[in-house]
Amino acid sequence: MKKKEIIIVLVISLCAVGLYMFLKPNVEQESAKIIVTYNDKAIDVIDPNVDGIYEYKGNYGIFHVEVKDGRWHAVDVECPTQECVHVGWVGVDDYLPIICLPNGFAVVLEEINS
């Protein structure tokens, strides 16, 4: 790459990071809820402040969500790809969904307004 192309790529990257930080939702820990969807329908609402392991039966097998210390992750999932397990721990500040396509589950963060 030429010097000008490198500079353009760096400027675009910095703008993208700045825009993400500006638009990133600021979710309070107390008002946050974890929404578990199965085949695009909400089936459970989990409080991230309550530790526990939640079990769901999916299209392919069993899907577990573990919540601990305000963070959550997929664990002990019966599916061939295990991509949802590789996402790792997610918290309120991460705003990252956990998706298990073979089982049909999505675990997303949502702010509940009182």
Domains of the chain and CATH, by start: 28-111 (2.60.320.10)
Distance CA 84, CA 93 (A): 18
Please report the pLDDT score of residue 25 as a whole number: 52
Please report the pLDDT score of residue 55 as a whole number: 96
Contacts of 88 (CB under 8 A, 6+ apart): 73
pTM over the 0.75 mark: no
H or E segment and range at residue 75: strand 71-75
Low-confidence ranges of the chain (pLDDT < 50): 27, 114
